[in-house]
Amino acid sequence: MPRLYQDCVYSAEIKKSKFITYLHRTDNEEDAKAFLMMIKKKHWDATHHCTALIIGTTVRSNDDGEPAQTAGHPMLAVLQHEQMDHILAVVVRYFGGTKLGTGGLVRAYSSGVQNALKEAILCEVQKVNEYEICYPYDQTGKIESFLRRRHLEAGEQEYGEQVTLHFFSPNDETEALSAATNGRIVPKKLRTIEKEIPIERK
């Protein structure tokens, strides 16, 4: 399930009411409550602070004084539709004097979360293999080209008589790297770990 790579904020004005959407990555309810308290303190003069939360099987929403089912629930519906997890959405509203009606409120709160998610950097957890390779300095160009061509993330590096480099891949890179270096460099698989990989979106 997608997660936020980092928190984000989106603002919009609808019929003179200002809606500020905060998307916060969270792993537990205590953190979510602390973030909400911080937002309430920052926007102490706002009319509403509506929320939607998904952390695994914990799913909650709050209309915070708006008519029932017009704020927190539509916000939550957007998060569920996008299959988000470990996320708290807070929409702060400054009332501008013009009532939006039930349908208008639903659209305002849901579109705030939708647009914030469009701007957010998302990631997904993948199992990847961590490899270690040792190679002479004259092979640096080939190694960099190999990693770049296969979109692999480099990790820890040490420079001694040879270069020692760690890199990560969801695939078995043994044959590919051996072929690219004419058999001179064979990667050593150290372990399989979970890493967060940013999702590329068009």
Mean pLDDT of 38-63: 97
pLDDT at 116 over 90: yes
pLDDT at 85 over 70: yes
pLDDT at 196 over 80: yes
Per-residue pLDDT band for 202 (boundaries 50, 70, 90) equals low
Average pLDDT for the chain: 93
Domain finish residue from 101, 120, 139: 120
Mean pLDDT of 102-130: 94
Co-location of 166 and 92 in the same domain: no
Co-location of 106 and 135 in the same domain: no
> Which CATH number fits the domain that encloses residue 41?
3.30.230.30
Sorted by sequence, the CB contacts under 8 Å of residue 180 that are 6+ apart come out as 142, 146
Q: H or E segment at 15?
A: none
Full residue range of the structural domain in which residue 16 is found: 3-120
Reported pTM: 0.76
Tokens of 41: 């303190």
**In 3-state terms, the chain is what percent helix, strand and coil (to 5)?**
30, 40, 30
Co-location of 10 and 78 in the same domain: yes
Co-location of 72 and 96 in the same domain: yes
Domain finish residue from 90, 120, 150: 120
Co-location of 114 and 37 in the same domain: yes
Co-location of 170 and 153 in the same domain: yes
pLDDT tens, residue by residue, 171-185: 899 899 988 888 889
Domain finish residue from 120, 145, 180: 120
Per-residue pLDDT band for 201 (boundaries 50, 70, 90) equals low
Co-location of 103 and 132 in the same domain: no
Q: Which whole-number Å values give the CA distances from 95 to 10, 37, 82, in the listed order?
A: 17, 20, 28
Tokens of 196: 């967060």
Residue 154 half-sphere exposure, CB side, CA atoms within 13 Å?
Answer: 15
Co-location of 9 and 40 in the same domain: yes
157 Rama class: left (phi>0) / alpha (psi -120 to 50) / beta: beta
Q: What pLDDT does residue 197 have? A: 79
Q: What pLDDT does residue 119 have? A: 93
Per-residue pLDDT band for 16 (boundaries 50, 70, 90) equals very high
Co-location of 131 and 114 in the same domain: no
Co-location of 150 and 95 in the same domain: no
DSSP string, 56-79: TTEEEEE-TTSSTTSSHHHHHHHH
> Which CATH number fits the domain that encloses residue 182?
3.30.70.240
How many domains does the chain contain in total? 2
Co-location of 14 and 92 in the same domain: yes
pLDDT tens, residue by residue, 156-174: 999 999 999 999 998 899 8
Co-location of 40 and 108 in the same domain: yes
pLDDT at 60 over 70: yes
In percent, the amount of the chain with pLDDT more than 70 equals 99
* Residue 99 or 195, more confident: 99
